Structures are given as structure tokens and as C-alpha cells.
Structure 1
Amino acid sequence: MPETKQRDVQVFLINTDTTVVRSRTWDRLKFEIEYALQRGTTANSYVIRGDKIALFDPPGESFTEVFLEALQARFDLKSIDYVILGHVNPNRGFTLKTLLELAPQITFVCSNPGAIALRSILPDQELDIKVVRGEETLDLGQGHRLEFALTPSPRWPAAICTYDPQTAILFTDKLFGSHICGNQVMDEGWTIYSEDRRYYFDCLMAPHARQVEKALDKLDAFPAKIYATGHGPLVRYGLLHLTNSYREWSKQQKTQELTVALLYASAYGNTGTLAQAIARGITKAGVAVECLNCEAAEPEEIQTVVEKADGFIMGSPTLGGHAPTQIQTALGIVLSTATKTKLAGAFGSFGWSGEAIDLIESKFRDAGYQLGFETIRVKFKPTEVTLQYCEEAGTDFAQALKKAKKARTSRKTVSESQAARTEQAVGRLIGSLCIVTTKQGELSGAMLADWVAQAT
């Protein structure tokens, strides 16, 4: 087995007064579906040095020590004025706490949801936070007058993007990224990253296509020449193509014939990880997903999404033996809104008990909904095998929706035209019932499928 490279930090000057600090993982970082191409990833942080200094998005706990060592070798930490957070992740808590011990003068810059999350992650710290709402600017001096755009999504409700007109760099956080690690900082020969960028979009952005389109509309106001991404190579040479691709891919999601509403809450990120895997399985089967984080969504939004969807899936953690209040509210909306002909699904994670998952499943069954897969219950953190199962469950759910739609269409056609009976009967002979198997490394799986057709 080839020796795996050690995690390291790469520092590179990308433009006037602007440096990227790339925390590099050369092998697969985690078990989450988004890393399944196994090409490593980078956690990209940035430093702008004007009259004042701003640091963007320090990495997670696994990089705290090496990241701060690399930063201290080039900058006086006590001279950092601002830490700008494109999104707030509990995994960053240890790095931020350590950074505050070394540089207590720091002011955090984030959205209002980000400020709330930051205070919950660092409850014992006195935090100086500047909340941005989209209209503000932050003048670092020497022409670096930063502008902000709020780009929230169900998975990252605190997301913001930052634009520096002095360098025409747009700091895009999760947008336009890819999970690939290498020595190349910019995307010269950008076509080699096409597969990675599309896979990244399908895993992370496709379930939020509506919010992605809104974000793209906001970012149109910034004449960017470089996208400073949160992961992978920075986008320069393929910028226009990738921007147009995001538009096209988002539109494809919105124009799919079938849509699934995926509603969830995630206390520690585990239920959210399951939701991501299920969503990937659904979109891979050619069915659109509308993900909603019930902790951030308004009741009216939940109702609208459920009404439009052809099926719905709900996931919840169990907190103190109960489902979170937001899930209980969403469950009530679903039960009063969704017709009984819609396909349903339930999943969730738990620590010591799983009452919330049992509650959702029992309510769906009592209301007469048919379940599209066996209810998924995961104790503590999901494993690679668990996530593969979730992805397969999502695909099964999507195929069940397609089959139900085909059956409805067939019944309608036969009733309207008796002459079509022969054609319908012959058509049923074309397909087959197959067992589809997969294997990658030590991981294997199988599923029963009636949608496989013989090639001509």
C-alpha cells in the first residue's frame, strides 16, 4: 500500500496583499458522501493585509496546530483585527478558541445566524462580534473595502460571501468548491476538475438548488476575477464556465418531473450527514430534492415545499427523549398538508434512545402513508457503510416514485384509449428484475431493481 502523505499547510500569495493558507488532506477526509471520490481536499483560509488584517475561515480542529504554526511564521497574530466566517461550524470551535487565547483582540465578522451559532460553540468566551446583514462594508484600508452578500441555505444558514473590489476576489465559502488536494493553487487546465466540481455540486448544492440560484443572483453584482473557494483549487481560468454550469445544474434540478421534500433538524451534524447521503441517492436517480433545515425554515415555507413535492422524508435527532420543537412543528404541518397518496420516509440519529424517529414513523403509518424505505436509525456518528445504505435508500425512494408515476400514467392512458392495451402489455415485457451489485475497496452493496433495461 502506498504511503499516505501527512497533512500539511500550503501558503501562497494570490494577489495584492492577499494570501491563501491551504490546510491539505491528501487522502479521504471523512466518510461523508461528498468525499467519496477519495481525492483528498483542502480547507482554504485567507488573509488580507491592509491597514488592518482580516483572516477568513480558520480550519477545523484536526488542523489547529499546524495551521496556527504556519500563520505565526508569517503574521503577528496579535495584529489580526478581524476573523471573517463564511459559515459557522462546530468543528472550528477548538481552532477559534485557541486563536482567541493567542489573539484576544480579534473581532468576528459573520451573519446573525452565525453569531448565534458562534456564541453557542464558545459559550464561555467574551466575543466581539460584528454582524453583517448584506448592506455593510468593512474598510481594511489600502483599497480593501469589503462588501458582503448573505447566501444562506438549509445546510449552512449562516453563510455569507465576501467581495474585495481592490483585487476583484470573491470569497465564496462553500460555493464553487471541489474536494481535491494537490500542489496547484489556481485552476489552470480547469477541465481536469470538471468531474470533481460536478460531483461536489450534486452532493452539496443540488438539494438546495433554489437557494443556490438566489445566491448566484446576489453574486452577479460583484465583477469577480477569482473565486476564493472554501475547498479545492481557486477558480480563475474556469470562472465563467463554472458560474454558467451552476446556473444550468440548478435549473436542471428545478425542472425534474418529480421532487422530494427532505425535512430535517440536526443537533450535532449527524442527522444532517444522513440527509446529505439520502439526498445524493435521490438526485442520482434523476429526481429533484428540496432540502429544508427545520431549525431555520418558516412554517409557510415547509408547507409550500411539502404541497409541491411528490414525496417527503423527515429526519430528526432525539434530544432528551423527544424530537426538537422544530421537528414537531414540521411534522404537524406535513400531516395536515400532504395527501395520503404521497410516499413518505423517516430517518434520524440518536445517542441513547431514538424516540423521535419512532414518533415520526408511527405518525406516518397511523396517517396511512406508505414508506419508501425501511426507517433508518443510526446510533451516534454514521459510518461509511451506513452512509452507503442511506444513499441506496434515497435511490430506492426515487425509483418508487418513478414507478408510481408510471403506473398512474399507464392507467390513465389505458382508460382513455382501449387501443393502447396491446402496446401497454408488450411494454411491460421490456424491463427486467435484476440484482445490481457494487464494490469499491472493502465496501460492497446490492439492490433489487426493476428499472434496468437491456441495451440495444
Structure 2
Amino acid sequence: MYCVKKIKDDLFWVGGTDRRLALFENAYPIPRGVSYNAYVLKDEKTVLFDTVDWAVSSQLFENLEAVLGGRALDYVIVNHMEPDHCATLEEVVRRYPEVKVVCNAKTVDIIKQFFDFDIDSRAVIVKENDTFCTGKHTYTFVMAPMVHWPEVMVTYDTTDKILFSADAFGTFGAMNGNLFADEVNFERDWLDDARRYYTNIVGKYGASVQTLLKKAAGLDIQMICPLHGPVWRENIGWYVDKYLTWSSYAPEEKAVMIAYGSIYGNTENAANILACRLADRGIRNIAVYDVSSTHPSVMVAEAFRCSHLVFASATYNGGIFTSMERVLSDLKAHALQNRTVAVIENGSWGMVAARQMKDMIAGMKNMEILEPTVSIKSSLKAGQEADIEALADAIAASLAL
């Protein structure tokens, strides 16, 4: 049985939802599932905007058949060739053998890497600012390379002012009946997943996102149809502002994230004491995480949100505690920058964690490292309260700037 959502009189959501998948891209936990969005236009010509992951292929084809109601499918527009959106492209071609594939030249090469069907005979190649008319609707195409693959483009409906935004403005999370962002409490229920999606999937490519946002600023956008998550038709500027902040690597909030890697609880104790001392100084926006029990994707998202970061690590095998090292490596890989950082180290002997953490942080752009560095030998001892107090003072003073 089909599950179709009407967006406009001639535009329909025909995607699918997956609540069974544990790891998106086999890397990121998605306890709330994920949606794979595809859209169909019924104009003088029929158009499918992207396809879906193979896991929800049956949902797509039931929905597509119901919407078309016996009509042929004339075109499929491929904005992004990643398999979670185009795994079923070859099956679309098999079921609708006359369909033409609208895409850019880079997309053709990637289609050939994934599939064996004859793309050359059915490709309609478009480039920046080309137009494409389906009858009532005229579309233009904006190239968006490295948001977050090299072939990515977005499609703009000049008639209804709708942006089909590929992976931009997407989010983790399965849809629960409501298609539109204004039908849910997005800031309360979806923002964390939206941030975690952006920072981990697209976050490395902030400069490319900024380029796309500048192009999009010249368009009159009344609706955004992303490939994951709710469709936007109200308060679009609020969400675009989030992307402007995230892609510029500016902190979203004045906040402190304390991440600790502790073996027997002594480094954890230091992190908790610091959190208490910060709270004593009137700081309310504090988040504390155990890097061994919190997925690195959460740490990446929180580091993008918070202005101030504290990394507290035991020394382990002559280096940084392994879970902490993974977090710092992920932050560097996702191009985190423009943060104020403090460091706490612990070691029973051969204490090197602070120096090595600072070396990793120094490899990131525009990172300020606060002093003092707190060093613990096995456990905090009487007399070291002053070290924690001094670090709390330094963080509080920096937050006040």
C-alpha cells in the first residue's frame, strides 16, 4: 500500500522511511531512523527528483506507481549520486525504459561506476544556470560541488520557487507522518539530529557550503525539499542561518563542552569538578561527555555547537587515551576551527597526553589553547583545587569576552 504526501497540486513526496537501520553510512548511529526523500512532479512531463536507498525501494515504487496513475515517467533528475539517493536508479530505468536522466557531466561518470545500463543514450546533460521546461514549470540548475560529493547540484523551480537541495538542509530522523518542518517542533525534536547530520556528513566542506549559500541567496526560495528530513515552507531563514553558522565554523552558542577519557574514574572526577566550578561562576551552558560511551559523531556535533572545549585524557600506551584520540582525529578530519580549548591530563608515569593533545589541536585552524594545563598524577590530591579553580577562572573570563 502506498504512502504519498502532497506538497503542491502537482508535486508529491514519494520517498520512504527506515527505522531499522542502525548506522547511517555504516558509521553514524541513527536511533530515530532516517528518511529518504524523493519527489514526483506531474506536469505536461512527469519528473522524479532523485530516488532512494535500496532498503526502501519497495516504498518508492509503490508510491511512484500510485502518483503516476498509469502515466509514463519522462525524466528523473539526479541531484546527488550517492547510493542512499540513487541505489534504485537502475531499477527506475528498467521499469520506465523511456525515461531520460537529467544530470551534469560529472554525474554521468559516477553513474557508470555504479551501474551498467546505457546512460549515454538517455542522459540530458545540464550545467550551471541551464533551464529545463516541463510545461508549467521551468527549472534551473545550480552546481554545488563538494556539498558533499563532486557531482552534486541543486535544482530550482522558478515557477513555484522550490529548491530541491540534495543533501543540504537534510537531517537524520524518520518522518512520523508530518512532512513539513512547521508541523513538528523542529528546534526541540530535530535540531540535534540536523546538526549531527550536517557536521558529520557535510561539515568538512564548509567553504563549498558557503559558496552554495551565496548562490542560493540570489534565489527567491519559498520552499526547500531536501533528500533527508522535513520539507521547509516556513521560517526558512532560521534554518539557513544555522547553515551559515555551521559552514563558517563559528560557534553556534557560548557553551562549554567537557569531554573526558577516563580509565578508573580519576580523570572523570577532575572533569566533573571543573564542571561544578564553572557552574559556580554562573555558567549554565555546560555539557559533559565520556568519550568511551558517547559516539564520536555526537562529539563532533557538540564541538560545532560550543564555543569552548575541554579535553581531559588519561595517558595510555604512551599516548592519548584511545577514545579521546579518535574524537580529536574526527574533529580535525571535519575541519573544526575557531574554538577556545583547555586541556587536562592524567598519568601515573610518563605523562604525555596534554602535549600530544595540544599537538593535535594545533593542527586545526585558529584554535586558542587556554592555560593553565591541569596535570594529575593518578588522582587529584589536596592542594590541586587551585589548579582547577584557575582553569575555571580562565574559561569563565574567556566566555565573558
Please say which of residues 246-255 and 68-77 is displaced more in the overlay. Answer: 246-255
Q: Which residue of 2 aligns with 1:133?
A: 127
1:171 aligns with 2:168: no
Answer yes or no: is the 8 Å Cα contact 2:171–2:197 preserved in 1.
Answer: yes
Match for 1:183 among 161, 168, 177? Answer: 177
1:224 paired to 2:209: no
Contact 1:51 1:140 in 2 (8 A): yes
Indicate conservation of the 8 Å contact 1:281/1:390, yes or no: no
Say which SS state the counterpart of residue 14 (structure 2) adopts.
strand
CA RMSD between the two structures = 4.0
Matches of 1:157 and 1:396, distance apart in 2: 21
Q: Give the deviation of 1:44 after TM superposition.
A: 0.5
Matched position secondary structure for 2:208:
helix
The answer to whether the 8 A contact 1:16-1:167 is kept is no
Instruction: Tell me the matched-pair count.
Output: 302
TM alignment of 1:341-356, pairs within 5 A: none
Alpha-carbon distance between aligned partners in 1 of 2:7 and 2:196, rounded to the nearest angstrom: 26
| Cα distance change of structure 1 residues 90 and 201 upon mapping to structure 2, 3 Å threshold | closer
CA contact (8 A) 2:42 2:68 kept: no
- Cα offset, 1:204, TM superposition: 1.7
Rounded Cα–Cα distance in structure 1 between residues aligned with 2:9 and 2:304: 44
Q: For the residues of structure 2 that align with 1:172 and 1:254, how far apart are their CA atoms?
A: 24
Aligned-residue offset at 1:88 = 0.6
Counterpart of 1:210 (choices 199, 207, 212) is 207
Q: 2:20, 2:129 → 1: CA distance?
A: 40
Q: Which residue is 2:46 aligned to?
A: 53
Q: What residue in structure 2 maps to residue 394 of structure 1?
A: 330
Q: Which residue of 2 aligns with 1:100?
A: 93
1:33–1:239 distance in 2 versus 1, CA, 3 Å: farther
Aligned counterpart in structure 1 of residue 194 of structure 2, from 192, 197, 201: 197
Q: 1 CA distance for matches of 2:332 and 2:321? A: 7
Aligned in 2, Cα 1:372/1:153: closer, same or farther, shift over 3 Å?
farther
Which deviates the most, 53-62 or 388-397? 388-397
- Deviation readout 1:114-134 (Å, 9 max, x if unpaired): 111112222243541111111
CA contact (8 A) 1:278 1:392 kept: no
Q: Runs of 5+ in structure 2 lacking a partner?
A: 253-294, 306-318, 337-342, 344-354, 364-370, 380-387, 394-401
Query: Structure 2: how far apart are the matches of 1:171 and 1:75?
Result: 20
Say which SS state the counterpart of residue 74 (structure 1) adopts: helix
Name the counterpart of 1:249. 246
Could you say what secondary structure the match of 1:73 adopts?
Answer: helix
Percent of paired sites with the same residue: 22
Deviations 1:252-282 (A, max 9, x none): 2599xxxxxxxxxxxxxxxxxxxxx989866
TM-score normalised according to structure 2 size: 0.64
Give the residue type in structure 1 aligned to 2:223.
I
Scaled by the length of structure 1, the TM-score of the pair is: 0.57
* Distance in 2 (alpha carbons) for counterparts of 1:45 and 1:87: 12
Distance 1:119 1:155 in 2: 19
2:196 and 2:300 in contact (8 A); partners too: no
Q: 1:128 to 1:77 in 2, by over 3 A?
A: farther
How far, CA to CA, are the matches of 2:362 and 2:66 in structure 1?
66
Report the Cα distance in structure 2 between the residues aligned to 1:35 and 1:236, rounded to whole angstroms.
Answer: 28
Corresponding position of 1:239: 236
Does the CA contact (< 8 Å) of 1:202 and 1:280 recur in 2? no
TM-fit CA distance, 1:172: 0.5
Paired with 2:96 and 2:361, the residues of 1 have a C-alpha distance of: 62
The partner residue of 1:80 within 73, 76, 88 is 73
Deviation at 1:390, TM superposition (A): 4.8
Q: How does 1:316-327 map to 2 (within 5 A)?
A: none
Task: Pick the aligned partner of 1:161 from 148, 154, 160.
Answer: 154
Per the alignment, do residues 392 and 33 of structure 1 end up closer, same or farther by CA in structure 2, a change over 3 Å counting? farther
Change (3 A) 1:453 1:214: farther
